[in-house]
Amino acid sequence: MSKLRPRRIAFVVGLAALLALPAVVAALPDGSATVQFGNDDAGSPFPPPSGHDASFNAKDNVIPRTAVISAGGMVTWNVPGIHQVAVYRPGITPGDIVPTGNLETNPFVDDPNGRLALQANPFGPPRPPTFEHTFSAPGKYLIICNFLPHFVFAKMYGWIDVK
């Protein structure tokens, strides 16, 4: 009878591992994600004549702040208003970004160091309401709103974590 006990234990451990496998596989990141870049429907309406109610927490944010995808996956940003998506390589942090624009003549961050992708200018010709980028290599990619006041004052940035 004592010879059967190790076999029983091995069987129970093996069965438990087999049952846990789907849970582990199901926890892997998806191949794609959708991120809301700005939320124009949140917060209070813009009071005239200032043009902005300064509700950065409501309007000028990234939802979710971090999206997790698989290598080779694509992120689609829904981008209303004057937001502009900029994607930076892994290793770049918000503190590494040096805004070169100014509010009078160029209201954009415009730091090209480590930048991988930049959405079309929101003040230019009409652009699609979404922006897409494919992430081929694992890493933690910084995404920012390239509109100067949103990045500098609202801290409008997030992460794409590629596994």
pLDDT tens figures, 77-117: 999 888 999 999 999 999 999 998 888 888 999 999 999 99
Residue of 25, 42, 67 lying closest to 76 (CA atoms)? 67
Q: What is the distance between the alpha carbons of residues 12 and 72, in angstroms, rounded to a whole number?
A: 37
Task: Please check whether residue 147 is in contact with residue 84, taking contact to mean a CB–CB distance below 8 angstroms.
Answer: yes
Q: Which pLDDT does position 59 carry in this prediction?
A: 77
Q: Was domain 29-162 assigned CATH 3.40.50.800?
A: no
Question: Does the pLDDT value for residue 20 go beyond 50?
Answer: no
pLDDT bucket at 132, cuts 50 / 70 / 90: very high
Q: Where are the alpha helices (DSSP H) in 44-113?
A: 56-59
Question: What residues does each domain of the chain span?
Answer: 29-162
Task: Average the pLDDT over 118-124 and give the result.
Answer: 91
Q: Which pLDDT does position 38 carry in this prediction?
A: 81
